[in-house]
A and B are shown apart, each in its own frame.
Chain A
């Protein structure tokens, strides 16, 4: 039986070697060498130049804000989904997941059309004689795009962990005299924390690395670290620098994952 199981893992094993391990090694090889192939740390140190550092800082800032906004929006939503009656429940979740069946690029392009100066939202606003909304090509539009695109990745894990909470635990809290606020802060929140933590990782990491959202909704005026790396590969053809900066970005991603695992353990510890 055990042998059989190992054999079953072979396709995944081959897959991860071919498409994860080897590319990762290549990123490290390119990132730590120069054009002639000699070892150098220049591509890593390049992050300290003003334009790279600024792009990284802006990416960290925008993705942190987006992640926080996602939590604020997703938590109440997940609670509503969870408290809805069983029939409604499936339907509501379906409605929520429906937009994800559409291509990510198309949805972002749609936001571009909505937000444009003469776009849908502004046409409606001007028809109602309301002041126009000018956030396209600003960091606000990028945050909006990130929140919109990554919100489901926050809702679903929180929803999952909330729906796993045993009703009896909540009832017990009530029986022992806890009011609504106390039940929430002492019982529900700690028990749902693992969901929040995994939601944070699932939103923060793609938001930190995105270059499509900033390109489409930022009018290429706002350079995030993802844009810098993308341009080094496609336009300036400097794979070494692109890889070097990717390594830096990976460090930040690993840091964020480590932080979430540590807090995750704390969260579970408290709830016990």
Chain B
């Protein structure tokens, strides 16, 4: 339903902008082409940006980092602002696809907490290319009525009694992250023995898994389809709102702490508009609006202060104190050979 509404909204936006074109052939302040994750922005925000700045927004969506990358690499489309994740930003920097952001044009960057820029240094060493938009963890979402024992470890996903009640992530790195962490390895490993062990663990787990899914974890958990699911923390608040039996935990072995950041590709034709867009996204009231709509943790400290609901403001799910956890890591780009190795092993798991 939500998707339908977004589609309807996007259609209206594009139609109204088309009608705008009818009056004058060029929008007064040019345009900005945005490439973002699906359901990752409050559609109102786009309209508001267009009204306030007179810059026309062309909005496009992708489902995974891996789908986004080839499009940018081929230079087939002139995107101005993109929102990839940590390791993918590193890959884009390594392959010289991004342009440095002029921070003078983005005064609202002061709203973004310093610790997020510190964390960004793992993939953007000098904080020159990216500005954090959302962050979070990956953990286990479980249904309290179906799982009575305490959940605190990835090992519960290998427990025979939950056969056919487990939902795993259907993407290479997320799936391997779970298995690598279970075995106590780094999720950025390129050691073939460690990866082989992770592959064996995933194959052992496969008969217990109900399905490998990406976005559907959310709906299936809300619908009581499964007892346990691997999910992004940003979906946790939304799912709990819909089904109060659901609980989110960060396993004790550690997990992935990820950041999705705004970047500007090298061949952007509207760099100043892109910076205006990022600046707008960093404004506290806009960041708050987006947070309330998508429920993914915002790195915008000023927006965080504005949250009225105390439970959400102090929520250990949306805003965990990261120093309380061990084994937290951020994905890094591992190079083409390692990518190939991961993909090969994942295919072996899937064809088992």
Chain A residues in the interface with B (C-beta under 8 A): 50-52, 54-55, 116-118, 134, 137, 219-221, 223, 227-228, 231, 234-238
Q: Which of B70, B171, B340, B351 has the most CB of A within 10 A?
A: B351
Whether the pair A235, B64 counts as a contact (CB closer than 8 A) is yes
- CB-CB contacts of B310-350 with A at 8 A, as 1s and 0s? 00000000000000000000000000000110010001101
Query: Hey, which chain A residues are within 8 Å of B347, CB to CB?
Result: 51, 223, 228, 231
Shortest B94–chain A CB gap in Å is 15
**CB-CB nearest in chain A for B207:** A221
- In angstroms, how far is the closest chain B Cβ from the Cβ of A46? 11
Is the CB–CB distance between A234 and B66 below 8 Å?
Answer: yes
Cβ of A235 and Cβ of B67 under 8 Å apart? yes
Tell me if B223 is interfacial: C-beta within 8 Å of chain A.
yes
Closest to A231 in B: B347
Is B283 interfacial (CB-CB < 8 Å)? no
Q: Can you list the 8 inter-chain pairs with the closest CB atoms, starting with the nearest?
A: A219-B211, A51-B351, A220-B212, A236-B343, A223-B351, A223-B350, A235-B66, A220-B170
Q: Which residues on the A side are within 8 Å of B206 (C-beta)?
A: 221
A55 touches B64 (CB 8 A): no
Q: Chain B: interface residue count, which band?
A: 20 to 34
A237 touches B69 (CB 8 A): yes
Please classify the interface of chain A as helix (H, G, I), strand (E, B), loop, or mixed, using the class held by over half of its residues.
loop
- With a CB–CB cut-off of 8 A, which chain B residues contact A54? 351
**Contact for B224 among A118, A134, A220, A221, CB less than 8 A:** A118
Given A137-B211, A220-B212, A234-B66, decide whether A50 and B223 contact each other with a Cβ distance below 8 A. no
Binding site for A on B (CB under 8 A): 64, 66-67, 69-70, 164, 170-172, 206, 209-213, 223-226, 339-340, 343, 347-348, 350-351
Cα–Cα distance between A73 and B132 once the two chains are bound (Å) = 57
* Sample of 11 A–B contacts (CB below 8 Å): A50-B351, A51-B348, A52-B351, A116-B223, A117-B226, A219-B209, A220-B212, A220-B213, A223-B351, A237-B70, A238-B343
Compute how far the CA of A221 lies from the CA of B351 in the bound complex, rounded to whole angstroms. 8
For A52, the closest partner residue in chain B by CB is B351
**For B224, what are the chain A residues with a Cβ–Cβ distance below 8 Å?**
118
Determine the distance from Cα of A55 to Cα of B225 in the docked complex, in whole angstroms.
28
Complex CA–CA separation, A219 to B170 (angstroms) = 9
Q: Is the beta-carbon distance between A221 and B66 smaller than 8 angstroms? A: no
Known: A51-B351, A55-B351, A236-B343. A221 touches B225 (CB 8 A): no
A3 to chain B, nearest CB (A): 41
Are B210 and A237 within 8 A (Cβ)? no
User: A236 touching B225 by the CB < 8 A rule?
Assistant: no
Closest chain B CB from A35 CB (angstroms): 9
A52 to B170, CA, bound (A): 19
> Closest approach, in angstroms, between the C-beta of B179 and any C-beta of chain A?
16
Find B225's partner among A52, A117, A227 (CB 8 Å cutoff): A117
In the bound complex, CA of A56 to CA of B147 (Å)? 38
Bound-state Cα–Cα, A132 to B201, Å: 30
In angstroms, Cα B95 to Cα A237, docked, is: 16
**Chain A proximity of B72: nearest CB distance (Å):** 12
Q: List 5 extra interface pairs beyond A51-B350, A137-B210, A234-B66, CB under 8 A.
A: A55-B351, A134-B164, A137-B211, A219-B210, A235-B66
Q: Contact check, A236 vs B66: say whether CB atoms are below 8 A apart.
A: yes
Give the chain A neighbours of B223 by CB distance below 8 A: 116, 118
Counting chain A CB atoms within 10 Å of each CB, the highest count among B70, B223, B350 belongs to B350
Across the interface, name the chain A residue whose C-beta is closest to B65. A235
Complex: how many Å from CA A221 to CA B205? Answer: 12
Give Cα distance in the complex from A52 to B351, angstroms: 8
What's the minimum C-beta distance from A240 to chain B, rounded to whole angstroms?
12
Which of B66, B225, B343, B350 has a CB less than 8 Å from the CB of A116? B225
Q: Is the CB of B212 within 8 A of A219?
A: yes
CB neighbours (8 Å) of B212 from chain A are 219-221
**Bound-complex Cα distance A116 to B164 (A):** 12
In the assembled complex, the CB of A139 is this many whole angstroms from the nearest CB of chain B, namely: 13
A52 to chain B, nearest CB (A): 8
Bound CA span A157–B69, Å: 44
Q: Which residue of A lies closest to B70 (CB)?
A: A237
Q: How far is the CA of A177 from the CA of B172 in the complex (A)?
A: 68
Give the shortest distance, in Å, between B37 (CB) and chain A (any CB): 16
Interchain CB contact under 8 A, A220 and B350: yes
Contacts of A223 in B (CB 8 A): 347, 350-351
Measured CA separation A220–B346 after assembly (Å):
12
